[in-house]
Amino acid sequence: MILPIVILVVKIVVLIGILMGGFAYTMLLERRLLGFFQLRLGPNRVGPAGLLQPVADGIKMMNKEDLMPTAADPWVFRLAPVVALTAALAVDAVVPFGAPIHLFGLTISLDIANPSVGLLYAFAFSSLGVYGIVLGGWASQNKYSLLGGIRSSAQVISYELAMGLSVMGVLVMTGTANLEKIVQWQGAHHIWLFIPQIIPFLIFFFTAMAETNRTPFDLPEAESELVAGYHTEYSGIRFAMYFIAEYVNMITASGLAVTLFFGGWLGFPFLPPIIWFLLKVGAFLLLFIWVRATLPRFRYDHLMDFGWKVLLPIAFVYFLGTAAFATGVL
């Protein structure tokens, strides 16, 4: 009884450590790549090739003064970043990072939990992250922060339906919402699901960028319109928690895209499965950064039109076609 609990605790600690390290060096990679795209150097002074820059940034954030507006709701203001970060970390509990491994006579799965409805769990907790943004914007008693929070909630309404429909074809084809079984189905049928589900995959990727508040869908924090949006009044470690949540959400969205559409940990046998998974996730992170460096921000009404009038109808029609094909109607 004690051994499974110990293994679970170790896996949780390791996962959080990987996510924190992944956040730190994804941020550094983004700053260096944005510098390259914009013909400048980016951070390269702290440590060899700037590799210790995340350590310096972390120390700086922990030592900065934690300010709070006088009129702010103190409890909600302090709680909102915790909600955003907790929701971001919770989703990764069901993402399988590799095939089960065998150590000392034990079979250890490379995920924290493996529920039969893992995909529904992931969508549920990813949707809860918006509460951290809305509560932070409302509790700050700042009109720009409030507008950022309202924008975030409106974005959720406009793209969540399309995101949900984009993965319904995967559920119909595999017959399961268990993420590990979805990967195993792709291995058993020798096909990655992005091939028959290419349009839903593109819709999933577009909506994932909106889910993570990334350019061109970073309207809740549009600095040219809202100063910094929902986190305008935050500083120090609480601002850092919002920042960490955004990058962890990027990693999570990449992990889900890889699991659902690109065979998860599956790859050629000359590399371990977990390495294949990490390489695929890294490719998606590079794509997130490339899009940020390339595309301008959407206008707000254009985002709403894109979600309701383009992504949702296409996702719905493609899902109907997939369901008809899977049931033998077509």
Q: How far apart are CA 318 and CA 323, in angstroms?
A: 9
**What integer pLDDT is reported at residue 200 of this predicted model?**
92
User: Residue 102 forms beta bridges with which residues?
Assistant: 107
Radius of gyration of the chain (CA): 20
Q: Are 118 and 94 in contact (CB under 8 A)?
A: yes
Residue 330 has pLDDT above 60, yes or no: no
Residue 4 has pLDDT above 80, yes or no: no
Longest dimension (CA), the chain: 63
Q: How far apart are CA 111 and CA 92, in angstroms?
A: 8
**What integer pLDDT is reported at residue 325 of this predicted model?**
83
User: How do residues 86-128 score in pLDDT, each as one tens digit?
Assistant: 888 888 888 888 777 777 677 777 788 888 888 888 888 888 8
State the SS3 of the chain.
Answer: CHHHHHHHHHHHHHHHHHHHHHHHHHHHHHHHHHHHHCCCCCCCCCCHHHCCHHHHHHHHHHHCCCCCCCCCCHHHHHHHHHHHHHHHHHHHHHCCCCCCEEECCEEECCCCCCCCCHHHHHHHHHHHHHHHHHHHHHHCCCHHHHHHHHHHHHHHHHHHHHHHHHHHHHHHHHCCCCHHHHHHHHHHHCCCCCCCCHHHHHHHHHHHHHHCCCCCCCHHHCHHHHCCHHHCCCCHHHHHHHHHHHHHHHHHHHHHHHHHHCCCCCCCCCCCHHHHHHHHHHHHHHHHHHHHHHCCCCCHHHHHHHHHHHHHHHHHHHHHHHHHHHCCCC
User: How do residues 177-230 score in pLDDT, each as one tens digit?
Assistant: 889 899 999 988 889 999 999 999 999 998 888 888 887 888 777 777 777 778
Q: How far apart are CA 161 and CA 129, in angstroms?
A: 16
Q: How far apart are CA 111 and CA 296, in angstroms?
A: 37
Where do the domains of the chain lie?
67-326
**What integer pLDDT is reported at residue 260 of this predicted model?**
93
Considering only residues 221 and 45, tell me which one the structure prediction assigns the higher pLDDT: 45
Cβ density class 200-233: b for 16+ within 10 Å, e for less: bbbbbbbbbbbbbbbbbbbbbbbeeebbbbbbbb
Please name which of 219, 115, 207 lies closest in space to residue 164, comparing C-alpha atoms. Answer: 207
Residue 21, judged by CB atoms within 10 A of its CB (0-12, 13-18, 19+), counts as exposed
Q: How far apart are CA 190 and CA 188, in angstroms?
A: 6
Q: Are 239 and 61 in contact (CB under 8 A)?
A: yes
Q: Is the pTM of this model over 0.85?
A: yes
Q: Which residue do the tokens 């985002």 mark?
A: 303
Q: Are 214 and 292 in contact (CB under 8 A)?
A: yes
User: How do residues 254-309 score in pLDDT, each as one tens digit?
Assistant: 999 999 999 888 888 888 888 999 999 999 999 999 988 888 887 877 888 888 88
Please name which of 82, 255, 230, 292 lies closest in space to residue 180, comparing C-alpha atoms. Answer: 255
Residue 49 has pLDDT above 60, yes or no: yes
**What integer pLDDT is reported at residue 67 of this predicted model?**
81
